[in-house]
Structure 1
Amino acid sequence: MPKLLVIDDEPIICHSFRRAFSGPDVEVLTAGSVAEGWAAVGRDRPDVIVTDLQLPDGTGLDLFEKVRAADPRRPVVVITAYGTMETTIEAMKRGAFDYLTKPVDLAQMSAVLGRAFEAARLMREPAALPTDPGEDRIIGRSPVMQEMCKLIGRIAPQDASVLILGESGTGKELVARAIYSHSKRADRPFLAINCAAIPDTLVESELFGHEQGAFTGAERQRVGKFEQCGDGTLLLDEIGDMPLAAQAKMLRLLQDQTFERVGGSQAIATRVRVLAATNQHPEKLIAEGKFRHDLYYRLKVVTIHVPALRDRREDIPELAHHFLFRYAREANRDVRGFVPEALDLLQRADWPGNVRQLQNCVRAAVYQTVGHVLAPADLPGLVAPGATPAGVPTAAGAAPFDLGGTIEAMLQDGAGDVHARVTSLVERELLTRALRRTHGHQAQASDLLGINRTTLRTKLRELGITLDKVVADAPAE
């Protein structure tokens, strides 16, 4: 169970954290001084630490320095009641995960802790290569996967930038973590940032930080991810969605190892190793004027192509069993394997969402089955290429389908997740048709649907919809 250590000499603050965040998923520990906090760090090995700056026997910054020296990968969140922020900003420069002011907004703190626990997981549960044991490892013995893992082994010890290309759901983040885990920086921080999930106007601030008054709402100086990461490793996921202005600053950073905060003029040095990932085609983005060609060539010192699941079908049985055993333990279910027909169906099925879709499919089946082995009936809606269950559209979705009949069939099968399945079905049909109508143009599709581009991208990733397949499957006009 993840552990949160809260260090504050105000009992009401510690009580508030215990009441708000204690539960089956998180154990909350508390301490009231630097000495007590440092003893708890050694004794309880917390995953995330929240510390006040002003403590009876010293400062939170003193404690942070000791924690940072012992293990720079442990996220530390600083809270303070003082408005000057100088020491807090200094802590951020040295690698603190984030800071908040008192009185603490629990909703904001919850969001920060969520990111901190995820960062701790990424750094402490390294992705292993196929020859290594481990829960979170790259799985596959196909020739294409063996070649990819050989390349990871060759480039991981280097400090070169790496560009990771692959469709949604193929495991690009897992590849990035494997590079980090086998690098010389494995004992330094690892941070991942999704460029597509941040509004365009805030990307530069999130990456490089900003000075007080740099723009409306910039009430204080903020340290960005590059400063927080220190000499660790930073993954820029969905870098194809990075705005051009931020791309220009990224180019300078890769060339000179320096950058400036938004609104600042001081050059700040960095030794961060940059890994970048995208499910888009960089050459196409360059041709459309959406990505700088010089940044592309700086990033692709080494390029790793993560294969789609359809290109390594021989790995599907091992992947399926890996997920089955994981979720059987998680759900405390006595599920032991697949009948041959189910495994054959998994191997022949079309997987537009790749490994992520397979993972979700097996997880749902494990939670819903009443038997000890999974049969084709436990894999609702899964079909092999060329076959379409009655009333359910294909991924192309060109033909109309009987929604009422589909709902009735789902209600009769008694699986218990009808709402999620129908919602996914309708959203897939709607988004696919909208993208076809706009010939794959996401901005036009989002306007047509009345949702913002970030929401559209998120739904496309969740549903495993790829633009290439949508456009390729479009009926001729």
Structure 2
Amino acid sequence: MEVMLVEDDADLRQATTETLEQAGFRVHAFEAALPALAALAPDFPGVILSDLRMPGLSGLDFLDRAREVAPEVPFILITAHGDVPAAIRAMRGGAHDFLEKPCAPELMLDVLRRAQAMRDLHLENARLRQTRIEDRLIGRSAAMKDLRQHLRALAGLQLDLLIAGETGTGKELAARILHDLSPHADGPFVAINCGALSEAEVDRELFGTSDAPGLIARAEGGTLYLDELESMPDGLQVRLLRVVESREITPLGAAPLPVNLRILGSVKRPPDALVAEGRLRADLFHRFHATLPLPPLREREGDAALLVAHFAAEAAARHDLPKPHIDNTLGRRIAWHDWPGNVREARNLAERLVIGLDVSFPSPGETTGTADMDFDTAMDAFESRLLRSALIQTGGRKAEAAALLGIPRKRLYLRLRHHHML
């Protein structure tokens, strides 16, 4: 935590410095605004705490100049009681907050800590935006190369997109990448779990009131991400449709309010199937310009082992433990496992490996429930497990797997291609 303190009163400057340092802040103290401005850089990781009334450059002038140099650094003004109107004008001009003299140390520290938390979040988001997409969406499979290419192509377009993928495939991560690579990356990213919305509180939560903005308004200038869109009741989907169409909301007790934002939604199953089942309104689905499908891990050849190794290295560093050894038997199980939990399951498995907990996979030939599948889907799933079981038992040797299954080798290769195992 760092503070740039600007205070022309030497005694007050010293006392404030001691208070901040005792609370764990690193303090850069200045007696005037001009030398502080000369030391300020856009990447300053802390916050500015400045007096309002100072000789030379005033606190308000300092605020204007500081926002030109480092617009994302929170700026907090210290004012005398009679200067409150000026402080309010400063808030409208971009100040983060203001404190009245005399200020209780506990209040000052609380305001500074909250401002520092906001600054830390902004710096972390900036760091993530600079991280290569290959380091965020890990995988060498053709499916992942195609996905990264699609994300790059779509990110810069002002299109509303629907992301479709099973649980654990990284739908919110894809949405954040679309936001971070977009022209509005400096705007907010607001994620809403549609399944957790309470109908009784939805007006206040989503649309807000005349006094408090709702979640949609908070995404102004950025991205609104609607997770599990199919779990939203039909009546709420109708109201959301109006937002998508008109880019306008009506807070409780207030006039209609225009909103400028991009809308990204996500569903856990193919949207056309959800529309056919009546879980997703067709008119809402068709308001999205395109659907971006995310591949399940079982269709990403070779990526499971890569992900487990990556997550294991992260977990080992986090827990200060050695990286686990993955022997041939475990490696084969990782390669041929169905991964119903997708990337999330791979992360959990890696964590268990690092901390020494048991890691188990379904036994060769073991089946999972298929009661909610149609006949063709269930038979496809059964064949996939049968092929994986044979490959696990033969260590991936396809000629032996074909002999074990009692089928010609050519047929084995055809079925493996069908299930994206080649």
Please give the TM-score of this superposition, normalised by the length of structure 2: 0.63
CA deviation map 1:157-209 (0-9, x unaligned): 21101111112211112212222233223344433333344434444434433
Q: Secondary structure at the match of 1:125?
A: helix
Q: Which runs of 5+ in 1 are unaligned?
A: 212-220, 369-377, 389-393, 399-435, 441-467
* 2:303 alignment partner, one of 312, 315, 325: 315
Q: For residues 395 and 6 of structure 1, what CA distance do their matches in structure 2 show?
A: 60
Q: Secondary structure at the match of 2:333?
A: helix
Taking a change above 3 Å as real, the CA distance of residues 56 and 352 of structure 1, as seen in their structure-2 partners, is farther
Aligned to 2:326: 338
Q: For residues 197 and 78 of structure 1, what CA distance do their matches in structure 2 show?
A: 39
Q: Does 1:252 align with 2:242?
A: yes
Q: Which amino acid aligns with 2:360?
A: L
Q: For residues 78 and 283 of structure 2, what CA distance do their matches in structure 1 show?
A: 41
CA positional deviation for 1:358:
0.8
Q: Does 1:262 align with 2:265?
A: no
**Kept after mapping to 2: 8 A contact 1:317/1:343:** yes
Q: For residues 249 and 60 of structure 1, what CA distance do their matches in structure 2 show?
A: 43
Aligned to 2:156: 157
Q: For residues 242 and 349 of structure 2, what CA distance do their matches in structure 1 show?
A: 43
Q: For residues 297 and 202 of structure 1, what CA distance do their matches in structure 2 show?
A: 27
Q: Secondary structure at the match of 1:275?
A: strand
Q: Which amino acid aligns with 2:361?
A: V
**Kept after mapping to 1: 8 A contact 2:52/2:78:** no
Taking a change above 3 Å as real, the CA distance of residues 395 and 227 of structure 1, as seen in their structure-2 partners, is same
CA positional deviation for 1:31:
8.1
Q: For residues 8 and 383 of structure 1, what CA distance do their matches in structure 2 show?
A: 61
Q: For residues 61 and 239 of structure 2, what CA distance do their matches in structure 1 show?
A: 31
CA deviation map 1:27-50 (0-9, x unaligned): 777989995997886387237x69
Q: Secondary structure at the match of 2:241?
A: helix
Aligned to 2:359: 381
**Kept after mapping to 2: 8 A contact 1:229/1:272:** yes
User: Structure 2 matches for 1:298-313, cutoff 5 A?
Assistant: 298-299=287-288, 301-313=289-301
**Kept after mapping to 2: 8 A contact 1:254/1:298:** yes
Taking a change above 3 Å as real, the CA distance of residues 55 and 105 of structure 1, as seen in their structure-2 partners, is closer
**Kept after mapping to 2: 8 A contact 1:164/1:172:** yes
Taking a change above 3 Å as real, the CA distance of residues 316 and 200 of structure 1, as seen in their structure-2 partners, is same
Aligned to 1:46: 45
Aligned to 1:210: 209
Aligned to 1:391: none
Q: Secondary structure at the match of 2:335?
A: helix
CA positional deviation for 1:347:
1.8
**Kept after mapping to 2: 8 A contact 1:349/1:385:** no
Aligned to 1:125: 128
Identity across aligned pairs (percent)? 27
**Kept after mapping to 2: 8 A contact 1:314/1:347:** yes
Q: Secondary structure at the match of 1:42?
A: coil
Q: Secondary structure at the match of 1:192?
A: strand
Q: Does 1:296 align with 2:285?
A: yes
CA positional deviation for 1:79:
12
Larger radius of gyration: 2
Q: Which runs of 5+ in 2 are unaligned?
A: 99-103, 383-422
Q: Does 1:327 align with 2:287?
A: no
Aligned to 1:451: none
CA positional deviation for 1:328:
3.0
CA positional deviation for 1:355:
0.6
Taking a change above 3 Å as real, the CA distance of residues 230 and 51 of structure 1, as seen in their structure-2 partners, is farther
